[in-house]
Amino acid sequence: MTIELQATVDALVQKGKGILAADESGPTIAKRFKAIGVESTEENRRAWRSLVLATPGLGQYVSGVILYEETLGQHGDDGEPLPQLASRLGIVPGIKVDTGKCPLALAPGDEITQGLDGLAERLEGYKRQGARFAKWRAVYNVADQLPSRAAIEANAEALARYAAVCQAQNVVPIVEPEVLIDGSHTQSRCAEVTQAVLHEVFAALHRHRVALEHMLLKPSMVVPGKAHAMQAEPAEVAEHTLRVLRRTVPAAVPGINFLSGGQSPAEATANLNALNRLGPQPWRLSFSYGRALQDTAMQAWQGQKTLAQRAQQALLKRARLNGAASLGEYDASLETAE
């Protein structure tokens, strides 16, 4: 078990590379497609995700891709299974395994993530289709009284149970506790919530005997709510985020791949760069972005096959900029360069 898990971790945590989150649920990708005037049909979703995975050179900056269940069974234009296409290009295929969130009973404003029932059996099938790692997302709404202690504990328990089941199946778990950017809360309140959440998550992982060396963490950065009047500069984001991580995340965790969580593509890249500019940390700090990697490419695509190459170039550019940011070598002037 250890050898297989270690091999997957080593493949994912490569210097100068990050993870592409292409696991949008049906409703989410429908919303993204609607913004560019494209209907969310099975064929259009296949065409988009095939275009993404077939991007020449993407493997230089992307070590893994999180897929939606539907995508595991889809094929490229030439008939090659999409997970196999990713693997051939040096990108490790992974799978989103949670089944979404719902209100937490008797806790107004809090949510809990579902999907533990039958998880081991589903993972067996996903592995046969080529998946080597998995992802489970918990979400935390932030307000003066949110999240509640009950929500912090319940989501930590679910994340830890998921991670333990994954490792028992020789699948590397990505643990994603997302402190949501929605709201008008301060950066300090975000830091307070993030610290409480991560502390509880790692306590639960310890209880469930999850090997920290064989998992990855996908947290949100410590930022003010997007409705707050004062937004933070990258240096402030980096300082607050690292302070919380140092207090809560054991050095045994090999990699921290941040989610973009509603930041613009340029913001997500600049903030990641600032984090890596603060010098070596116990963990590899990189990205696991969805919208922040794909948005400009999707705008370029517009659902038209003739624009596929233009879309791939836009995706490759964002991947390259984030690869540089994961090394602390991003130059903002490159945003406008062709």
pLDDT tens per residue, the chain (338 residues)?
589 999 999 999 999 999 999 999 999 999 999 999 999 999 999 999 999 999 999 999 999 999 999 999 999 989 999 999 999 999 999 999 999 999 999 999 999 999 999 999 999 999 999 999 999 999 999 999 999 999 999 999 999 999 999 999 999 999 999 999 999 999 999 999 999 999 999 999 999 999 999 999 999 999 999 999 889 999 999 999 999 999 999 999 999 999 999 999 999 999 999 999 998 999 999 999 999 999 999 999 999 999 999 999 999 999 999 999 999 999 988 787 65
| Residue among 176, 178, 200, 267 flagged as catalytic | 176
Query: CATH number, domain at 55?
Result: 3.20.20.70
| Residue among 200, 218, 267, 317 flagged as catalytic | 218
pLDDT at 75: 93
Q: Note if 124 is an active site residue.
A: no
Looking only at the bridges linking them, the beta strands covering 92-96 and 101-103 are unpaired
Label residue 20 left, alpha or beta by phi (over 0 means left) and psi (-120 to 50 means alpha): beta
pLDDT at 334: 79
Residue 70 and residue 30 in contact, taking contact as beta carbons nearer than 8 Å:
no
Distances (CA, A) of 41 to 26, 46, 65: 10, 9, 21
297: three-class secondary structure by DSSP? helix
Residue 14, domain extent: 2-335
139: phi then psi, degrees, rounded to nearest 5: -120, 145
pLDDT at 337: 67
Cα-based torsion angle of the residue sequence 173, 92, 102, 255 in order, rounded to the nearest 10 degrees: 50
Q: Where are the beta strands (DSSP E) in 88-149?
A: 92-96, 101-103, 111-113, 133-140
Q: Note if 329 is an active site residue.
A: no
Task: Tally the domains of the chain.
Answer: 1
